[in-house]
Structure 1
Amino acid sequence: MASQIINETLQAYRTDLDALLERVQALAKDINNPDLQLTTHNLRRNINEPFLFVVVGEVKAGKSSFVNALLEAEVCATDIEPCTDSIQQIVYAEQEFVEQVEPSLRKIGRPIPILQEISIVDTPGTNTVVDEHQIITERYIPNSDLTFFVLFAKNPYQKSAWDFLDFVSAEWRKKVVFILQQADLLRPADLATNLERVKEYAYQKQIKAPIIFATSAALEQEGDRANSGFEPVRQYIQAMVSSGESYKIKLRSVSQTTQQIIDLLNGDVEGLNRQLASDRATAQSIRSKIDAGRGRSRYEINTLADRLAARYEVISARIKRDFRESLSVLTVVRRSFVGLFNQEASMQTWIDDFQERCTRDLRESLEEVSSEGAQHFVDGIRQLFDGLNQDLESVKSHRLESSHISLKVQSAAKK
């Protein structure tokens, strides 16, 4: 049984799938997406973990002895008193170790070849008084590839054992294999009767085709393999694992999730390409608007300068005309004569007033043109900024953050 138990085709598929997930995980790191990194990490761990076999049953039904006989090694402690007071996960390790992972979970490492392909979980009894044990036991069964339900062959009718199956969904009950342990303590006829009764009980628990084995760890340890009943169990495990049905389900599930990730990533890439095209169009629009704004500003400045020059010419011409008309010989003589008697009407006073009036008219006229031109210039700048802000807001509203990529599949994977 320690030989190759997974066919080469499935192993090759697992290798290819793991390589693909490794690339997706690297991509998730490159785009700084921790959620996608965790999802792909968990998927890789799932397909690379050994098969998980869970052993459940009542206290003193012989679960630990069954595990030891199955693995042909003293892995689980056995005694006349209940020994398994916590969950024991038995895994492969080059060096033996015992690690208390949680108060009710102990991990045991053993250099047993078969554990390179399978991992076995030995549990407290289903009738244990510690409720936490039962809760943890129920949590393991849905994740198992196979569940061995060990019953005491002389009395496989204990209510707590069969009630325990009510906590297991009908879907997971399909993976349950019944073991009548300590079968050597019964006469063949009584054992046959109990086997039939167990089959009836299984029917009542909605298990339509129950798999049942009668075993004796004592006979197995004594070397009586022909009568211990363990060889059929090993052959069943060999056939079940080698056929790959359970493993196919695991690989198919991971493969489907991986395909969903790839499809969503492909959608994200297409979205990023659309965003890139949109950003390029926006950048071109911004450049065009800036160029147009620059040209419009230059035109407004040149127009303002021309208008100021033209208005200056008009005012200058009018001042010259008024000055010439006001300096006729008759007018100068008259103002000079009047100025002898009234200083406010003198020629000098008129010149000062004329200069002040011309300065005021010129200033007001040029300020009017400047104000109007400046307003046109400011309006043009404002329109340019409004257009640029619209483009920039468009970029901001359509931006796709890399850390948000493929959240849908992550949520589905968690579920």
Structure 2
Amino acid sequence: MANLIDAGLQADRARLEEIIKRLHELTIRIGHEEMARTVSDLRNRIFEPFMFVIVGEVKAGKSSFVNALLATGEEIAKAAPQPMTDTIQQILYGEERREVTVNPYLKKVFLPVEILREIAIVDTPGTNTIVEHHQEITEQFIPASDLIVFVFEAKNPYRQSAWDFFQYIHGDWRKKTIFVLQQSDLATPQELEVNLAGVAEKARQEGIAEPRVFAVSARDEQLGQEDTGFAPLRQFIADNITGGRAPRLKLNNSILTASTINEKIADGLLLRRRQFDADTAFRTDIQTTLDEQVAQSNKQVDLMVENLLLTYDGITRAKLSELESGLSMFGLVKRSIASTFGSTPGPKEWLENLARDLETDLNEKLRARLNENVVDLAETIQQMVKTIDLKIRGSQTILSNDHEIFSSIAERRENVLRDLQDQFNRFVGKTESFTDESLFADRDSIAPNLAAGGGMAALGVILMALSTLPVVDVTGGVLTTIGVIFAGFSTRGKRKRIVQGFEREVTEGRARLAGELEEKLKVYIGTLRRRIEANFSRFDEMLDREEKNLLILEGTHREVREELDRLSGDLNV
């Protein structure tokens, strides 16, 4: 039967080792060296005996307590009036006494003591000393411990540093703990009664429903006196830990510790996922804002073109009316007679003047109307840039750079966001960000004004420069064509053809005016949008990387959790 139990235990240990191996791989993937060492140590200690870790303040009597508990008659753990070094002693079973120095801060002591066949004891330095390698306790022994024995001075068990350390043990690692009031021989019976009750109440306040508190005197125990308090403590150990129960208890404790570490990772992953979701929402908001702002700018372009066409239509209708009236039979006869006897220009000269007047009216009035609308368009585009800048500055930070597990991820994100802010500031401050050669035939003509404007302030100068272009450049040569038509006038039979030619060219010029201006401005707005988006390339790469990493980490965490739950459930069946 014992062999069957041992075989089952070995199989369960091997199963747990595989799970913890997966957990170790998860911590390595996360890149958290301290946690990876903790998990590696937990994996290595699965096959060790049930581990008692003795903690407490300096001079609380921990070493004397260990010597009395082992009852070998010799000083195994060094006790001295002054605090000893920060060396940790792990006391294990061995057929003969020997010591192995693992490193300057850890020593293993092997003893042929019967109780050590089932338990191992770790004697640690005091919790309230300034110890350079104090982390040896927390990193190597607290997470892998099976029972914490918290030793207090019987006369004063209320020092805050000790209870702060208890919060780490119980709150962070959920470790089973018993409390020992050592040096009870130095306290009066009344003091002991009050302090036993006080420690029990303090433990309940810290979350232990049924605290176990013992009062002992290591001095009296080693002197062979009665009523030293060690008998109830030894009975507790015999009833709850030894007697063949220790290996299974250790297995369950290891499952609990692995689950605790896995859930610490889960809590961090939850924050990391929330940060990723917030960053994704922020990025989506940027794109939505750009979509809306571009749509609004394009709408203003449509209104601008509509207003320009109204002006264009008014001018060309008036000139068409003048042309039709002047080319009528009565008009031509009247003009011919008048030109013969006076200074009134003849028909041909009149047509040339009409063409020049049309060009002048179009240039002056269209430029004036363009100037009125360009200011509004420039303000809309500026508002788009300012809105994006504010959104970058207001990006929500959920995962802080002092996070226990993912501080490096938070710092990396913080750096990317800071670079984004700096890059966008530089983008806004550079005139080149807002210029576009395709807008102008002669870019040099506006260069001095751009230099004076600088950065986003150059927007108005850039758009206003559109109004300095000759209308003939925008309308595609309508006036030149009209001039040619007019120049071909020679007989009355060409009147109808001239009017129709004028109407045709004006119509085509209208379409070219609308198309050219709309295309130039909308292409410009689209180009500016792409330039703004380009500032987010590193941020987008971070999001893409983070999404892939989160899926892997979350998947591995879930698998480890499910495997630990299954193993725990199988053990409790």
TM-score of the superposed pair, with normalisation by structure 2? 0.38
Q: Alpha-carbon deviation of 1:19?
A: 5.8
Alignment partner of 1:231 is 2:261: no
1:176 maps to what in 2? Answer: 177
Q: Alpha-carbon deviation of 1:207?
A: 1.6
Letter in 2 for 1:412: V
Q: Alpha-carbon deviation of 1:139?
A: 4.1
CA distance in 1, matches of 2:255, 2:52: 22
Tell me, yes or no, if the aligned pair for 1:14 and 1:251 is still in contact at 8 Å.
no
Q: Alpha-carbon deviation of 1:149?
A: 0.1
1:68 maps to what in 2? Answer: 67
Unaligned ranges ≥5, structure 1: 1-7, 26-40, 257-406
CA distance in 1, matches of 2:132, 2:198: 28
SS at match of 1:143: coil
Q: Which has the higher contact order (CA 8 A, sep 6+)?
A: 1
Question: RMSD in angstroms over aligned alpha carbons?
Answer: 3.8
Structure number with larger C-alpha Rg: 1
Letter in 2 for 1:221: Q
Letter in 1 for 2:61: G
Distance 1:188-1:138 versus aligned 2 partners, 3 A rule: farther
Distance 1:232-1:171 versus aligned 2 partners, 3 A rule: farther
Give the count of matched residue pairs: 244
CA distance in 1, matches of 2:41, 2:162: 33
Q: Alpha-carbon deviation of 1:111?
A: 1.8
Tell me, yes or no, if the aligned pair for 1:183 and 1:216 is still in contact at 8 Å.
yes
Q: Deviations over 1:195-232 (max 9, x none)?
A: 111112212221221110000001101111x3110011
SS at match of 2:231: helix
1:240 maps to what in 2? Answer: 240
Distance 1:196-1:134 versus aligned 2 partners, 3 A rule: farther
1:159 maps to what in 2? Answer: 160
Letter in 2 for 1:14: D
Match of 1:412 among 549, 556, 560: 560
Matched ranges for 1:120-139 at <5 A: 120-134=121-135, 136-137=137-138, 139=140
2:193 maps to what in 1? Answer: 192
CA distance in 2, matches of 1:241, 1:141: 18
Distance 1:219-1:159 versus aligned 2 partners, 3 A rule: same
SS at match of 1:142: coil
Matched ranges for 1:329-368 at <5 A: none
Tell me, yes or no, if the aligned pair for 1:14 and 1:47 is still in contact at 8 Å.
no
SS at match of 2:81: coil
CA distance in 1, matches of 2:202, 2:59: 20
Q: Alpha-carbon deviation of 1:114?
A: 1.6
Distance 1:242-1:90 versus aligned 2 partners, 3 A rule: closer
Distance 1:243-1:128 versus aligned 2 partners, 3 A rule: same
Matched ranges for 1:16-415 at <5 A: 16-18=8-10, 46-73=45-72, 74-83=75-84, 85-134=86-135, 136-137=137-138, 139-170=140-171, 172-173=173-174, 175-224=176-225, 226-242=226-242, 247-251=247-251, 412=560
Instruction: Decide which moves more: 148-157 or 103-112.
Output: 103-112
SS at match of 1:67: helix
SS at match of 1:56: strand
Tell me, yes or no, if the aligned pair for 2:53 and 2:147 is still in contact at 8 Å.
yes
Q: Deviations over 1:242-276 (max 9, x none)?
A: 477764354458899xxxxxxxxxxxxxxxxxxxx
Instruction: Decide which moves more: 42-51 or 187-196.
Output: 42-51
CA distance in 2, matches of 1:150, 1:132: 21
CA distance in 2, matches of 1:195, 1:250: 28
Tell me, yes or no, if the aligned pair for 1:21 and 1:44 is still in contact at 8 Å.
no
Q: Deviations over 1:125-151 (max 9, x none)?
A: 000101531452364122211110000
2:6 maps to what in 1? Answer: 14
Instruction: Decide which moves more: 104-113 or 238-247.
Output: 238-247
Distance 1:222-1:42 versus aligned 2 partners, 3 A rule: closer
Q: Alpha-carbon deviation of 1:97?
A: 2.0
Letter in 1 for 2:202: Y
Tell me, yes or no, if the aligned pair for 1:123 and 1:137 is still in contact at 8 Å.
no
CA distance in 2, matches of 1:96, 1:155: 36
Distance 1:130-1:193 versus aligned 2 partners, 3 A rule: same
Letter in 2 for 1:237: I
Q: Alpha-carbon deviation of 1:190?
A: 1.1
Letter in 2 for 1:240: N
Identity of aligned residues (%): 47
Distance 1:241-1:102 versus aligned 2 partners, 3 A rule: same
Letter in 2 for 1:228: T
Distance 1:196-1:97 versus aligned 2 partners, 3 A rule: same
Instruction: Decide which moves more: 102-111 or 163-172.
Output: 163-172
Distance 1:22-1:218 versus aligned 2 partners, 3 A rule: closer
CA distance in 2, matches of 1:56, 1:23: 31
Tell me, yes or no, if the aligned pair for 1:174 and 1:207 is still in contact at 8 Å.
no
SS at match of 2:194: helix
Distance 1:138-1:234 versus aligned 2 partners, 3 A rule: farther
CA distance in 2, matches of 1:19, 1:186: 49
CA distance in 1, matches of 2:162, 2:255: 36
CA distance in 2, matches of 1:241, 1:233: 11
CA distance in 2, matches of 1:24, 1:191: 43
Distance 1:227-1:172 versus aligned 2 partners, 3 A rule: farther
Tell me, yes or no, if the aligned pair for 1:66 and 1:181 is still in contact at 8 Å.
yes
Distance 1:16-1:66 versus aligned 2 partners, 3 A rule: same
Distance 1:192-1:16 versus aligned 2 partners, 3 A rule: same
Q: Deviations over 1:27-83 (max 9, x none)?
A: xxxxxxxxxxxxxx9999655321100000000100000000000022101111112
Letter in 2 for 1:200: E
CA distance in 2, matches of 1:24, 1:156: 38
Unaligned ranges ≥5, structure 2: 18-39, 257-554, 565-573
Tell me, yes or no, if the aligned pair for 2:146 and 2:175 is still in contact at 8 Å.
no
TM-score of the superposed pair, with normalisation by structure 1? 0.51
Distance 1:90-1:42 versus aligned 2 partners, 3 A rule: closer
CA distance in 1, matches of 2:109, 2:85: 13
Letter in 1 for 2:234: R
CA distance in 1, matches of 2:153, 2:92: 26
2:467 maps to what in 1? Answer: none
CA distance in 1, matches of 2:178, 2:16: 37
CA distance in 1, matches of 2:171, 2:234: 25
